[in-house]
Amino acid sequence: MTDPRRERPDRLDQPVEPGRVRLPRFDPEAFGRWSEGIARYMGTAQFIVWMTLVIAAWFAWNTLAPAGWRFDPYTFTFLTLILSLQASYAAPLILLAQNRQTDRDRLGMEEDRRRAAMQKADTEYLTREIASLRIALGEVATRDFLRSELTRLADELDEAAHRREKRARSEWEEDRKVWEEDH
């Protein structure tokens, strides 16, 4: 079944369907780049110089040219209209360029914040690792500690050997006395 409103779109007794007005499509990114280009150019000294030259030429033509050739008499109404038109288009283009720059700055700051968070996490991890290594090194024997322990053990072994030797001599002397008594 067909919709009667679609059969005859030119009927005046029925309301127009929403969405029927087709506006031209444009790429917002391309338009944004174009507006940034214009805003950048309008912010240069070159633009100011050219604008000044055009306005000076306008003044000169409309004040010095013969009366029949002047297209904008003394109050320069047409020049005022042109400058107002330029300003009315320049302001939104500049704002659009600023908004795009703000968006880029925001994305840059978010990326910087993300990197800073990662670096902070990495730094904290490395700090914990260094602390655990320090604790582990605190439990590891140093060269001086090992030297002192080996010296102490050598001294103990020397004392034990000396005692054994002394005991062996005394036993040998006792055995000799017993042997001499028996012989």
Structure confidence by residue, pLDDT tens digits, 39-73: 999 989 999 999 999 999 999 999 999 999 999 98
Model confidence at 116: pLDDT above 80: yes
Domain spans in the chain, listed from the N-terminal domain onward? 27-113, 148-183
Dump the DSSP string for 26-61.
Answer: --HHHHHHHHHHHHHHHTSHHHHHHHHHHHHHHHHH
Classify 183 as helix, strand or coil. Answer: coil
Q: What is the DSSP letter of 17?
A: P
pTM, two decimals, is: 0.52
b/e string for 26-41 if b means 16 or more Cβ within 10 A?
A: eeeeeebeebbebbee
Given a contact cutoff of 8 angstroms between Cβ atoms, the answer to whether 69 and 63 are in contact is: no
Q: What pLDDT, on a 0 to 100 scale, did the predictor assign at position 100?
A: 92
- CB atoms under 10 Å from CB of 79, counted, come to 15
* Banded pLDDT at 9 (limits 50, 70, 90): low
The CB density around residue 97, as the number of other CB atoms within 10 Å, is 21
The token pair at 17 is 């369907």
pLDDT band of 131, cuts 50, 70, 90:
very high
122 versus 18: the higher-pLDDT residue is 122
The Cα–Cα gap between 7 and 173 comes to 138
pLDDT for res 77? 94
* Mean pLDDT, the chain, integer: 87
